[in-house]
């Protein structure tokens, strides 16, 4: 086999694998990306029930109710809207009323957000970045949320985070 043929074979193979990978990536990106919304964006955009998205905002003080067998409900609020959330399971250690939270799940037909994952990616002084950005855009940003972020410990590699994900 000549150098040219060898090269063509390799290039042919590479293109085949790349095409396969591109197809996989495009297919996966179409189906499995999840958008981020705040309660007011949910109100504006009329997200259809059953479509998965991430909901971010502050846990409304006084809204947390614990039911039987680890069922919890709370409200996620931003400056102009609120959305009730149902969740079953153990909440992250740093889940608090008045703190930022990101939950993943979908709306049910009655407009309640059924979360299957609750993330609390922050320590006691820091807001999740999406939530902070969203609140900033709405012009209701208090600087002290982020002020202490420098003090938070940044970890490296696959170091466990300050708080994980609960399922």
Residue where the block lists tokens 């919304």? 37
Q: How many residues bind another protein (CB under 8 A)?
A: 62
- With a CB cutoff of 8 Å and minimum separation 6, the contacts of 1 are 9
> CB-wise, 110 or 135, nearer to another protein?
135
Q: How many CA atoms lie within 13 A of 99 on its CB side?
A: 21
Q: How far lies 114's CA from each of 35, 43, 110, 127, in Å?
A: 16, 16, 10, 22
State the nearest-atom distance from the C-beta of 43 to another protein, in Å: 17
For the CA atoms of 115, 120, 124, 125, the dihedral, rounded to the nearest 10 degrees, stands at -100
- Per-residue mark of binding to another protein, 33-72 (x: CB under 8 A): xxxx-----------------x-----------x--xx--
Binding to another protein (CB under 8 A) within 112-131 occurs at: 119, 121-124, 126, 128-130
Looking at the DSSP bridge assignments, the partners of residue 59 are: 76
Determine, following the binding rule CB under 8 A, whether residue 163 of this chain makes contact with another protein. yes
Distance CA 38, CA 95 (A): 18
Q: Which of 42, 58, 91, 103 binds another protein (CB under 8 A)?
A: 91
> CB count, 10 Å around CB of 83?
23
- Contact stretch for another protein (CB under 8 A) within 43-51, 74-82, 83-91, 107-115: 83-91
**Interface with another protein (CB under 8 A):** 1, 3, 6, 9-10, 13-14, 17-18, 20-21, 24-25, 27-29, 31-36, 54, 66, 69-70, 88-91, 93-94, 119, 121-124, 126, 128-130, 133, 146, 149-167
């Amino acid at each position: 086999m000549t150098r040219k043929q060898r090269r063509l074979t390799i290039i042919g193979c590479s293109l085949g694998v790349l095409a396969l990978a591109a197809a996989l990536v495009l297919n996966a990106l179409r189906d499995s990306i999840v958008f981020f919304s705040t309660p007011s964006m949910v109100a504006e955009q009329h997200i259809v029930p059953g479509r998965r998205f991430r909901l971010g905002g502050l846990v409304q003080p006084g809204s947390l109710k614990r039911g039987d067998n680890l069922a919890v409900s709370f409200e996620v609020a931003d400056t102009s809207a609120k959305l009730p959330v149902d969740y079953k399971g153990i909440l992250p250690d740093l889940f608090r009323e008045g703190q930022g939270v990101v939950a993943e799940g979908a709306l049910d037909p009655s407009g309640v957000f059924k979360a299957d994952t609750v993330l609390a990616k922050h320590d006691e002084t820091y807001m999740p970045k999406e939530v902070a950005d969203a609140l900033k855009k709405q012009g209701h940003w208090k600087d002290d949320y982020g002020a202490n972020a420098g003090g938070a410990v940044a970890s490296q590699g696959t170091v466990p985070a300050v708080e994980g994900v609960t399922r």
